[in-house]
Amino acid sequence: MKTYFRLLSYAKPIGRFAVPYAVTTLLSVVFAVLNLALIIPLLQTLFAEEGGTVVAVAPENWYDIAAHFKYYATHASVVFGPYGALQRVCIVIISSVFLSNLFRYLSQRIMENLRIHTLLNLRKAVFDNVMDLHVGYFNNQRKGDIISKIASDVQVVQFSVTATLQVVFKEPLTLLVYVIVLFLLSTKLTLFAILVIPVSAFIISRIVKRLKAQATLAQQVYGNMISYLDEALSGIKIIKAFNATSFIKSRFHKENIRFSKISRRMVRRQQLGSPVSELLGVGMVAVVLLYGGKLVLSGSGELPAEAFITYIAIFSQVMRPAKALTDAFSNINSGIAAGERVLDLIDQRNELPEAPDARPIKTFETGVQLVDVGFSYGDKQVLKRVNLDIPKGQTVALVGPSGGGKSTLMDLIPRFNDVGEGEVMVDGINIKILKVNDLRSLIGFVNQDSILFNDSIYNNIAFGMENATMDDVVAAAKIANAHDFILETEQGYETYIGDRGIRLSGGQRQRICIARAVLKNPPLLLLDEATSALDTESEKLVQEALSMLMQNRTTLVIAHRLSTIKNADKIVVLEGGEIVEEGTHQQLLANDGLYKKLIEMQQFGD
């Protein structure tokens, strides 16, 4: 229940929904029961004895419902005649049905508003927390699992938890009103009937017992399917190039079949509840019918025939709210299972917290310094006591074999990851005591992945810059050697570039990313393999754009190719997480060390 109440907290402020829902539901239930109770005056009017003097006798007890209805029906027959009384009874029945359905509609509208309100808050909380998580978290998670939790699991929680909230108020209230009316009609018959109900409830509860475990497994498998789908769509070129289409199809279809089998078992259990409930309900009605019929046929007058018929009509409805409650507990099992996965995502804490007294930084005066920096992934030590100075206005290049720690080192500066030991400082201030947004506002990024969004060229260049104008965007595009090809597209700057910029070439995508960095105009620039995936012609254009971008900026660059780093003010060679060489291009060549070997091989690893 702890999980349930945590999920329910996302329905706040629940008061604005609860009070009107309670009122409309109460009125709906009252009129719904009245619809059935009106069978008594209807039968009394239709089958009143003809001839003789008809006298309306006031009931002795206020709680004797049958006597009250009989009194008013008889009184109407005396005043208006049998047919006139029938007309008025029909008008009352129609009015009661209208009011019960009106209030039922209003209560459903209120509950739907609550459901949507809860979904809005829950999905917002999940997405906000995911966006706030540090970059390292996503290295250990499958994207499909995260998507499944945000999309599918949240939807399950919305329907199961809010639907349960609806049921746990309405159905017990309905059941209570039914039972009260049944007691008022016949205490003896109702006490007998109550002995039969627990048997039905026990059987139904056994049917739904394992639904929670099945629901949990189903969502895990669904997450795998989403992951496979995402990987297939993202890597479609590689899949076809390696003739791996059959393998990818087989992998997805196996998981799809597994999910279908689990879903089929779940649905079978869920659907078994309805026929079993109906069978048990009919059996209970038959038992009550036998016992009640005996009371009617005894001639004692303890239970009039019209009251007994009404009793059976109401009793036949008792199993509906009882079944709804059972189904609700079944659904809440699925909802809580999904809710636990959603809350797990919400509970993930950003391991790079901002200090409560974090100070702002708007200027960039002296540069970046790494002092005795160490960093680990699990048990693996990636960086080992690295000391590096990146003076303002200079370009520092990182080179070295694959796995040497270049990208890890670069990720420490914008706090995508935090150091395990040592300090990263900007202008002599430890970045852990700076406001993260201020720190990142000083930094521009261009990497080999060319991260673009399914939007217009204009919006991709102006990404994150709310006050950018068209003139600003065009000026940035010109510096990035992108303006000319943009004008050749269908709608110029308003052209949509497709998912991840698929409608553009690699060089065009990279120049859009450079234009985005130019527009931001950051004092510190981080370039990670910005030209590694380009052909010679595209590399030339991109390199020209990068040269323009790097002017008068502090730049840290990771590169494969000599053309990118030979003019750097300082080149740092990383191997095994340690700086093994440091100097200019000419100095390092003269050292005849690792750098010279890498130059001769013309291959710098990731």
Q: What is the pLDDT of residues 451-479, one digit of tens each?
A: 788 889 999 898 888 888 999 999 989 98
Where does a domain end: 314, 347, 380?
A: 347
CA distance 454 to 259: 31
Residue 422 lies in a domain: yes
* pLDDT for the residue numbered 604: 46
CA distance 196 to 193: 5
Where does a domain end: 347, 376, 391?
A: 347
Same domain, 211 and 326: yes
Distance of CA 321 to the CA centre of its chain: 30
Same domain, 175 and 204: yes
Q: Provide the pLDDT confidence category of residue 487 given band limits of 50, 70 and 90.
A: very high
CA distances from residue 599 to 374, 531, 556 in whole angstroms, order as listed: 27, 17, 19
Q: What is the mean pLDDT of residues 237-245?
A: 67
Same domain, 137 and 279: yes
Same domain, 339 and 383: no
Q: What percent of the chain has pLDDT over 70?
A: 78
Q: Provide the pLDDT confidence category of residue 587 given band limits of 50, 70 and 90.
A: very high
Same domain, 400 and 500: yes
Sheet containing 367-377, strands listed edge to edge, beginning at the edge strand earlier in sequence: 380-391, 367-377, 421-426, 429-430
The candidate with the shortest Cα–Cα distance to 224, out of 267, 258, 264, 247, is: 258
Same domain, 194 and 233: yes
Q: Provide the pLDDT confidence category of residue 323 given band limits of 50, 70 and 90.
A: low
Q: Which conformational region is residue 389 in: left (phi greater than 0), alpha (psi within -120 to 50 degrees), or beta?
A: beta
Q: Minimum mean pLDDT among 168-172, 300-304, 407-411, 493-497: which range? A: 300-304
Cα-Cα-Cα-Cα torsion 307, 308, 309, 313, nearest 10 degrees, comes to 100
Residue 494 lies in a domain: yes
CA distance 254 to 228: 11
- Is 312 in contact with 297 (CB distance < 8 Å)? no
CA distance 89 to 408: 82
Which of 54-58, 273-277, 409-413 is most confident? Answer: 409-413
Residue 352 lies in a domain: no
Kindly state the DSSP code that residue 496 receives in the 8-state scheme.
Answer: B
Residue 72 lies in a domain: yes
CA distance 118 to 13: 10
Same domain, 343 and 372: no
**In residues, how long is the chain?**
606
Kindly tell me if the per-residue pLDDT of 82 is higher than 50. Answer: yes
* Mean pLDDT of the chain, nearest integer: 79
* pLDDT for the residue numbered 388: 94
CA distances from residue 459 to 443, 483, 517, 572, 594 in whole angstroms, order as listed: 19, 14, 13, 36, 43
State how many domains the chain has: 2
Q: Residue 295 sits in a domain of what CATH number? A: 1.20.1560.10
Sheet containing 443-447, strands listed edge to edge, beginning at the edge strand earlier in sequence: 443-447, 524-528, 554-558, 395-399, 570-575, 578-583
CA distance 380 to 509: 35
Where does a domain end: 347, 378, 404?
A: 347
Distance of CA 560 to the CA centre of its chain: 40
- Is 35 in contact with 181 (CB distance < 8 Å)? no
Same domain, 50 and 122: yes
Same domain, 331 and 388: no
Considering only residues 237 and 173, tell me which one the structure prediction assigns the higher pLDDT.
Answer: 173
Considering only residues 279 and 20, tell me which one the structure prediction assigns the higher pLDDT.
Answer: 20
Same domain, 266 and 373: no
CA distance 208 to 436: 49
- Copy the structure tokens of residue 520: 């931001």
Same domain, 371 and 331: no
Kindly tell me if the per-residue pLDDT of 143 is higher than 50. Answer: yes
Q: Provide the pLDDT confidence category of residue 398 given band limits of 50, 70 and 90.
A: very high
Which of 116-120, 208-212, 444-448, 478-482 is most confident? Answer: 478-482
Residue 397 lies in a domain: yes
Kindly tell me if the per-residue pLDDT of 79 is higher than 80. Answer: no
Q: What is the pLDDT of residues 492-519, one digit of tens each?
A: 999 998 877 888 888 888 888 888 888 8
Considering only residues 267 and 580, tell me which one the structure prediction assigns the higher pLDDT.
Answer: 580
Same domain, 508 and 588: yes
Q: Provide the pLDDT confidence category of residue 377 given band limits of 50, 70 and 90.
A: confident
In 10 A of CB 30, how many CB atoms? 17
Kindly tell me if the per-residue pLDDT of 94 is higher than 50. Answer: yes
Residue 382 lies in a domain: yes
Q: Is 423 helix (H, G, I), strand (E, B) or coil?
A: strand
CA distance 448 to 440: 19
Q: Residue 526 sits in a domain of what CATH number? A: 3.40.50.300
Q: What is the mean pLDDT of residues 389-399?
A: 92
DSSP sequence for 9-73: GGG-STHHHHHHHHHHHHHHHHHHHHHHHTHHHHHHHHTPPPSS----PPPSSTT-HHHHHHHHH
* pLDDT for the residue numbered 413: 92
* pLDDT for the residue numbered 52: 44
Q: What is the pLDDT of residues 9-61, one digit of tens each?
A: 777 887 788 889 889 988 988 888 877 777 766 666 666 555 444 455 566 66
| Radius of gyration from C-alpha coordinates of the chain | 37
Kindly tell me if the per-residue pLDDT of 68 is higher than 90. Answer: no
Residue 353 lies in a domain: no
Kindly tell me if the per-residue pLDDT of 106 is higher than 60. Answer: yes
Q: What is the mean pLDDT of residues 381-402?
A: 91
* pLDDT for the residue numbered 271: 62
Q: What is the mean pLDDT of residues 145-171?
A: 74
Residue 38 lies in a domain: yes
Residue range(s) defining the domain that contains residue 340 = 2-347
Q: Mention every residue, 6+ apart, whose C-beta is less than 8 A from residue 340.
A: 3
